[in-house]
């Protein structure tokens, strides 16, 4: 039985929603150019950037898959967060790739690629980014709805209405105000989300206590619950894939780099990266702790039970009235900021890169903004339909990283080559895109076919992910070396 009280907790949630909607809709008056809509006129400063990046990169989906990792792998499940924090710190401090990317003045990655590899590569890169991104994001709304239904004790039949309501609210301010609304609401959402996450975490540490949490991990997972190399479901290949995948995501994930591209200059963008880096440890470790708490209180999952739902089931009975409202508001804040940024992020690539060949000359600002709003609305409809129809097999993080690796492997290789390898050219870019996409697609096909399923299981998802990065790099090197040299090529 959930502790969610319709009046007390409902009022806290309602107040948060009202505040967010007023702020999000109010700033639409400042949107007069497409640059305002997509990158907030490049006027974003450091602290707003930190709030926005942190709020975007923590959604209900993040909380769910990280808590599931804590429940099924123990504290070692937080390793991807440490990998991403290190990648973010190193890239922020050195400016590796992100400095030339911001200095190029591009609004999206494919726009940068066009300067080096030509229009066809820009278009194809846009398609790969959008396909990978939308496949990845397609499950967000459904999982957000599942979480809210479980925590609030609502009937699963109301999932459609919860999903629809969430989507409608986010769509309204994102369509009207674009990146400006996203930044302002992200700020409010960051403050509420952080307050909720911290209070719940402190309550867990106080009420359950470290000794009980540690005992639960030791009994259920042994040393592997603390050390990823001693965990039979993790090991070296898992670690290497996490380092590659998280570094690539830091360099090329559209919603992450859109904060860099919205920064007022490259130095501000780099500071946003380096100063937000430790947040990525918190982003994983806090929900992992919630998952471990679910393990300590509820015990391990029985045969056929969904490990994904253990954390929300634990929170539903652990938190008292009042705090439940704050936690639901925090999770709504986290989810709304993620959904709005993702809708805008993929929408900007569709408008800026995929539709670029169909635009004859520069469109008037009003028409461009209208098209961007239309694209964001279409993505909203896609999210709703995909969320209702698609059922994830296996754990959520594996699905997200595998669907993301189609894009991350090739785009990171393209970006590094574009910025630092003078010999890189369009043939190499096509080779990298082909190699990066082919390996995960082949692996997924092998997994489904009876004759090759055993081989695929032996090979493993992590090795397939590493192979995708290797294939993209080989494709880039081979293609670039085969094509005759072009003396006019310059680095951007």
Partner 1 sequence: MSTFWHLLIWACVFWYGTVTILVAVRGWKDIVGMLRRLRDGEE
Q: Which residues bind partner 1 (CB under 8 A)?
A: 27, 30, 32, 36, 40-41, 43-51, 54, 75, 78, 180, 183-184, 187, 190-191, 194-195, 197-198, 201-202, 205, 210, 214, 218, 223, 226-227, 278-279, 281-282, 285-286, 289
- Kindly tell me which of 210 and 420 has the beta carbon lying closer to partner 1: 210
Of 325, 305, 230, 387, whose CA–CA distance to 71 is shortest?
Answer: 305
- What lies within 8 Å, CB to CB, of 233 at 6+ separation is 72, 73, 224
Interatomic CA distance for residues 91 and 53, integer angstroms: 15
Q: How many CB atoms lie within 10 A of CB 105?
A: 12
Cβ–Cβ contacts within 10 Å for residue 361, how many?
Answer: 4
Nearer Cβ to partner 1 (90/281):
281
User: In whole angstroms, how close is the CB of 264 to partner 1 at the nearest point?
Assistant: 9
State the minimum distance, in angstroms, from the CB of residue 35 to partner 1.
Answer: 10
- Please say which residue, 49 or 479, places its beta carbon nearer to partner 1: 49
- How far apart, in whole angstroms, are the C-alpha atoms of residue 205 and residue 223? 21
Residue 10 dihedral angles phi and psi, to the nearest 5°:
-60, -40
**Given the structure tokens 């501000």, which residue do they identify?**
268
Question: Is 193 in contact with 330 (CB distance < 8 Å)?
Answer: yes
- The number of beta carbons lying within 10 Å of the beta carbon of residue 378 is 13
In this structure, what are the phi and psi dihedrals at residue 44, rounded to the nearest 5 degrees? Answer: -70, 135
Best CA proximity match to 461, nearest among 401, 378, 373, 390: 401
The nearest distance, CB 371 to partner 1, in angstroms, is 21
We find the least distance from the C-beta atom of residue 295 to partner 1, in angstroms, to be 14
**Closest alpha carbon to 65 in 78, 51, 52:** 78
Contact call for residues 100 and 257 (beta carbons, < 8 A): no
CB of 387 to partner 1, least distance (A): 30
Nearest to 3 by CA among 157, 203, 190, 138: 203
Give min distance, CB of 368 to partner 1, in A. 17
Backbone angles phi, psi at 2, to 5 degrees: -75, 150
Find the shortest distance in angstroms from Cβ 213 to partner 1: 9
Nearest distance in Å: CB 193, partner 1: 9
CB of 209 to partner 1, least distance (A): 11
461-482 and 396-420 are packed helices; what angle lies between their axes, rounded to 10 degrees?
20
372/409 with CB nearer partner 1:
372
In angstroms, the CA 317 to CA 310 distance is 12
In this complex, which beta carbon is closest to partner 1, that of residue 160 or of residue 230? 230
Q: Quick one: 222 or 492, whose CB is closer to partner 1?
A: 222
Compute and round to an integer the Cα radius of gyration of the chain: 22
Residue closer to partner 1, measured from CB, 204 or 309:
204
- Nearer to partner 1 among residue 187 and residue 382 (C-beta): 187
Q: Measured from the CB of residue 123, what is the shortest distance to partner 1 in angstroms?
A: 31
Phi/psi for 489 (5° steps) reads: -65, 135
Name which of 60 and 76 has its Cβ closer to partner 1. 76
Q: Which is nearer to partner 1, 72 or 405 (CB)?
A: 72
């Amino acid at each position: 039985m959930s502790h969610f009280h319709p009046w007390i907790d409902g009022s806290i949630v309602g107040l948060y929603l009202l505040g967010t909607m007023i702020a999000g809709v109010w700033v639409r008056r400042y949107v007069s150019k497409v640059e305002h809509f997509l990158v907030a006129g490049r006027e974003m400063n450091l602290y707003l950037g930190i709030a926005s990046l942190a709020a975007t990169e923590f959604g209900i989906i993040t909380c769910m898959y990280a808590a599931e990792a804590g429940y099924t792998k123990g504290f070692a499940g937080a390793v991807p967060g440490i990998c991403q924090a290190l990648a973010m710190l190193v890239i922020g401090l050195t400016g590796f790739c992100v400095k030339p990317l911001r200095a190029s003045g591009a609004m999206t990655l494919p726009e940068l690629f066009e300067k080096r590899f030509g229009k066809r590569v820009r278009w194809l890169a846009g398609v790969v980014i959008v396909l990978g991104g939308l496949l990845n994001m397609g499950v967000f709304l459904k999982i957000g709805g599942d979480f809210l239904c479980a925590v609030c004790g609502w009937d699963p039949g109301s999932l459609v209405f919860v999903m629809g309501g969430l989507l409608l609210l986010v769509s309204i301010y994102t369509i009207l105000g674009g990146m400006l609304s996203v930044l302002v609401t992200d700020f409010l959402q960051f403050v509420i989300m952080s307050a909720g996450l911290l209070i719940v975490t402190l309550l867990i540490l106080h009420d359950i206590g470290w000794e009980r949490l540690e005992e639960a991990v030791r009994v259920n997972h042994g040393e592997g619950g603390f050390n990823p190399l001693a965990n039979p479901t993790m090991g070296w290949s898992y670690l290497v894939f996490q380092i590659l995948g998280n570094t690539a995501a830091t360099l090329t994930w559209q919603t992450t780099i859109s904060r860099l591209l919205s920064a007022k200059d490259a130095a501000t963008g780099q500071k946003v990266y380096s100063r937000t880096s430790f947040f990525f440890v918190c982003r994983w470790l806090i929900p992992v702790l919630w998952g471990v708490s679910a393990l300590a209180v509820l015990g391990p999952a029985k045969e056929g039970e969904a490990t994904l739902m253990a954390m929300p089931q634990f929170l539903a009975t652990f938190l008292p009235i009042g705090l439940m409202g704050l936690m639901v508001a925090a999770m709504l804040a986290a989810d709304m900021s993620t959904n709005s940024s993702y809708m805008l992020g993929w929408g900007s690539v569709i408008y800026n890169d995929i539709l670029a060949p169909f635009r004859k000359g520069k469109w008037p600002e009003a028409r461009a903004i209208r098209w961007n709003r239309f694209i964001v609305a279409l993505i909203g409809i896609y999210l709703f339909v995909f969320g209702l129809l698609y059922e994830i097999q296996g754990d959520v993080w594996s699905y997200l990283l595998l669907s993301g690796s189609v894009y991350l492997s090739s785009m990171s290789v393209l970006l590094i080559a574009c910025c630092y390898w003078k010999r890189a050219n369009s043939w190499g870019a096509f080779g990298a895109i082909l190699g990066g996409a082919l390996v995960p697609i082949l692996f997924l096909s092998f997994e489904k076919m009876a004759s090759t399923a055993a081989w695929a299981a032996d090979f493993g998802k992590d090795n397939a992910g590493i192979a995708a990065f290797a294939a993209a790099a080989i494709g880039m090197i081979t293609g670039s070396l085969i094509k005759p040299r072009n003396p006019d090529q310059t680095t951007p």
